[in-house]
């Protein structure tokens, strides 16, 4: 029988129009139980319309921060994510399980590792925890984040990512991919397919020098990137991924692809990096 702990929501705010950040007050006596590794998640439980609803959410904070925060993106028709985005308030209590999950690699302060990460939409939550933790704990590591969103406004944790970029400007690079907004400098064209990933792995990513890669987003995207990175020479034990949802049938696969990728097929993509903008079609 899983153990749940009643935790109070100590803070709550909208990060984007459809994503709410929820912070929990973990009492001192439960700090040991709620100790976590970067990239781990919490399972939340709530009785909604008489039904026991349990959903998992990745912590977006680093263990170093001593904060327990999750970001919940509203899924159209989604029971828990709609409740969290429309009804949950500061002071409410939720049943929360202790942190769990294996989406991390051990921190090594003496290592000079180069990490890469691909995230789409709410897939940024574990990444933020992982990125902060490695940058803060490994003074010689570098991180490249490839982050796909629909528009600038829908970028979850845009400001926090910018702050991190400023804080670690020599070690942290962010490439924003946008599916619904265009900028001026065309860079690449075509679907986000084998060919395009091959270009990325030749121009932006030094495969031989990559210690670990983290992937979080829609299943199709994760598997495509995983396969292409492997084909480019990255060992499979260096590729780590977290699936938020794997549709068991074609209808739900389509649903998740549409919700998370907002039908990105054939849409224009913009990458913004250090003031430069690149375009291509995914």
Ligand X SMILES: Cc1cc2nc3c(=O)[nH]c(=O)nc-3n(C[C@H](O)[C@H](O)[C@H](O)COP(=O)(O)OP(=O)(O)OC[C@H]3O[C@@H](n4cnc5c(N)ncnc54)[C@H](O)[C@@H]3O)c2cc1C
Residues contributing to the site for ligand X (CB under 6 A) = 41, 55-58, 70-73, 75, 77-82, 122, 125, 242, 244-245, 252, 255-256, 259-260
Strand-by-strand arrangement of the 276-281 sheet: 239-243, 212-217, 114-120, 142-149, 172-178, 268-273, 276-281
Q: Which is nearer to ligand X, 53 or 231 (CB)?
A: 53
Q: Which is nearer to ligand X, 2 or 199 (CB)?
A: 2
Instruction: Give min distance, CB of 92 to ligand X, in A.
Output: 17
Instruction: Give min distance, CB of 134 to ligand X, in A.
Output: 19
Q: Which two structure tokens, joined as six digits, stand for 27? A: 């009492």
Instruction: Give min distance, CB of 272 to ligand X, in A.
Output: 23
Q: Which two structure tokens, joined as six digits, stand for 66? A: 């001593």
Q: Which two structure tokens, joined as six digits, stand for 78? A: 């989604």
Q: Which is nearer to ligand X, 217 or 228 (CB)?
A: 217
Instruction: Give min distance, CB of 50 to ligand X, in A.
Output: 15
**Residues 278, 271 contacting (CB under 8 angstroms):** yes
**Residues 122, 151 contacting (CB under 8 angstroms):** no
Q: Which is nearer to ligand X, 72 or 213 (CB)?
A: 72
Instruction: Give min distance, CB of 182 to ligand X, in A.
Output: 26
Q: Which is nearer to ligand X, 60 or 272 (CB)?
A: 60
Q: Which is nearer to ligand X, 80 or 143 (CB)?
A: 80
DSSP state letters, 150-183:
SSGGG-TTHHHHHHHHHHTTTTEEEEEEESS---
Nearest residue to ligand X, by Cβ distance, number only: 78
What residues are paired with 217 via a beta bridge? 243
Instruction: Give min distance, CB of 204 to ligand X, in A.
Output: 26
Q: Which of 140, 121, 122, 141 is nearest to 131 (CA)?
A: 141
Q: Look at the alpha carbons of 44, 94, 154, 130 in this order and tell me if their dihedral is positive or negative.
A: negative
């Amino acid at each position: 029988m899983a153990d749940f702990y009643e935790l109070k929501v100590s803070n709550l705010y909208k990060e984007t129009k459809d994503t709410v950040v929820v912070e929990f007050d973990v009492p001192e006596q439960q700090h040991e139980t709620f100790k976590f590794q970067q990239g781990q998640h919490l399972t939340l439980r709530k009785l909604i319309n008489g039904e026991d609803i349990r959903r998992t959410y990745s912590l977006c904070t680093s263990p170093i921060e001593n904060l327990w925060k999750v970001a919940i993106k509203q899924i159209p028709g989604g029971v828990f994510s709609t409740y969290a985005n429309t009804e949950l308030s500061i002071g409410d209590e939720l049943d929360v399980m202790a942190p769990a999950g294996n989406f991390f690699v051990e921190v090594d302060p003496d290592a000079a590792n180069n990490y890469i990460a691909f995230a789409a939409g709410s897939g940024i939550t574990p990444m933020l925890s992982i990125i902060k933790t490695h940058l803060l704990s490994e003074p010689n590591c570098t991180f490249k984040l490839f982050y796909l969103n629909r528009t600038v406004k829908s970028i979850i944790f845009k400001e926090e990512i910018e702050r991190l970029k400023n804080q670690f400007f020599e070690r942290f690079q962010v490439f924003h991919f946008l599916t619904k907004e265009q900028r001026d400098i065309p860079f690449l064209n075509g679907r986000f397919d084998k060919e395009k990933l091959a270009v990325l792995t030749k121009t932006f990513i030094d495969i031989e020098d990559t210690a670990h890669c983290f992937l979080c987003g829609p299943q199709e995207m994760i598997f495509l990137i995983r396969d292409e990175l492997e084909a480019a020479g990255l060992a499979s034990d260096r590729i780590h991924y977290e699936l938020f949802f794997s549709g068991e049938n074609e209808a739900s696969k389509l649903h998740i692809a549409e919700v998370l990728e907002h039908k990105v097929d054939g849409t224009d993509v913009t990458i913004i990096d250090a003031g430069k903008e690149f375009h291509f079609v995914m």
